[in-house]
Amino acid sequence: MIFELTILGSSSAVPTSKRNLTAHVLNVHERFFLIDCGEGTQMQIRRNKIRFGKINHIFISHLHGDHIFGLFGLISTFSLLNRDKNLHIYAHAELENILTKHIEYFERNLSFKIVYHHINPKRNEVIFEDSKLTVETIPLKHRVPCCGFLFKEKPLLRNIKKVFVENHIVPISQIQKIKEGEDFITESGDRIPNNEITLPPFKQRSYAYCTDTAYYEKIIAIIQNVDLLFHEATYASNLKKMAKDTFHSTSEQAATIAKKASVGKLIIGHFSARYKDLTALENEAKAIFENTVVAEDGERHTIPLTR
């Protein structure tokens, strides 16, 4: 039951020789979710050995080029590979108009259907749900309408003890009920309490993605206690005024949000291309929130199962 984030791009505005533009892939129980899609994303998907056919849901935070320009090439590639599954895109309504015009000119005969899900970046609401997880929007503070995304695993089932299975004949029809908390009735009619034959379920896991935003404490209540937080840190603290003027954050501000939200681990990223060495940003963040790491293209961050 994997819950793993892959960083595809960690630069802001323009790519560098070592950093691609913003894109993440979150793998939840072998469901792959693409979060933003900067230029070069499809190359990063290939480099990180993620199958194109596994990506069925794309979440777009806002309509700045460094977060969407990769969509055009990715959609073209999907069609060239004769994709036939629907592609679901969760984004501002304007993106549908942009992509529709592009497709009408360049991709008139797409091999698959794009299903658009319009989001309201000013509201915190569930925009996706299946049997394994939910996805909520996180309103952010940027120059254009922008939102982050909160991925939350649904409650997991209890785990049946191996010794119980080895010593009892358990009908297949009873296994699901036991995992859901029911007691077991033996063939002779004896009742075995559920807590004697199962282990508690693993804790739910969560990931919050907060890209382009000024320092914004209103997100704290939404992301409280998440296991993993990505928060943009475009600038070091000496450029705090520039961060404010451009509606971005410093590494110190990202760490402050992480600390106030009591998150498990912080990843900082979306770095200005001016930085060749990110040591200063890393140190500034760690001084406030110790469990901070710098986003690196190609890195994977796994949230382990715990009880």
Domain boundaries, the chain: 3-156+202-300, 159-199
Q: What is the structure's pLDDT at 221?
A: 98
CA distances from 107 to 51, 72, 79, 179, 249 (A): 22, 10, 8, 48, 38
Q: What is the structure's pLDDT at 162?
A: 83
Report the Cα 257 to chain-centroid distance in Å: 18
What's the rounded Cα separation, in Å, for the pair 250 and 239?
Answer: 8
What's the rounded Cα separation, in Å, for the pair 161 and 242?
Answer: 57
Query: Residue 66 catalytic?
Result: yes
Q: Which of 66, 212, 227, 297 is catalytic?
A: 66
pTM of the predicted protein model: 0.92
Give residues with Cβ within 8 angstroms of 188, minimum separation 6.
none
Q: What is the structure's pLDDT at 201?
A: 86
Q: What is the structure's pLDDT at 187?
A: 75
Q: What is the structure's pLDDT at 205?
A: 98
The fold adopted by the segment(s) 3-156+202-300 is: Metallo-beta-lactamase; Chain A (3.60.15)
For residue 56, count CB atoms less than 10 angstroms from its CB and return exposed for 0-12, middle for 13-18, buried for 19 or more: middle
208 DSSP β-pair partners = 150, 229
For residue 42, count CB atoms less than 10 angstroms from its CB and return exposed for 0-12, middle for 13-18, buried for 19 or more: buried
Please report the sign of the dihedral spanned by the C-alpha atoms of residue 140, residue 144, residue 145, residue 147: negative
Compute how many other C-beta atoms are within 10 angstroms of the C-beta atom of residue 8: 28
Report the Cα 80 to chain-centroid distance in Å: 27
Q: Long-range contact list for 303-306, CB < 8 A, 24+ apart?
A: 303/3, 303/4, 303/5, 303/205, 303/207, 303/227, 303/228, 303/264, 305/1, 305/202, 305/203, 305/205, 306/202, 306/203
What's the rounded Cα separation, in Å, for the pair 134 and 126?
Answer: 7
Q: What is the structure's pLDDT at 252?
A: 98
Residues of the chain with pLDDT under 70: none
- What are φ and ψ of residue 147, in 5° steps? -145, 150
Q: What is the structure's pLDDT at 170?
A: 79
- Could you report the per-residue pLDDT of 292-306, keeping only the tens digit for each? 999 999 999 999 999
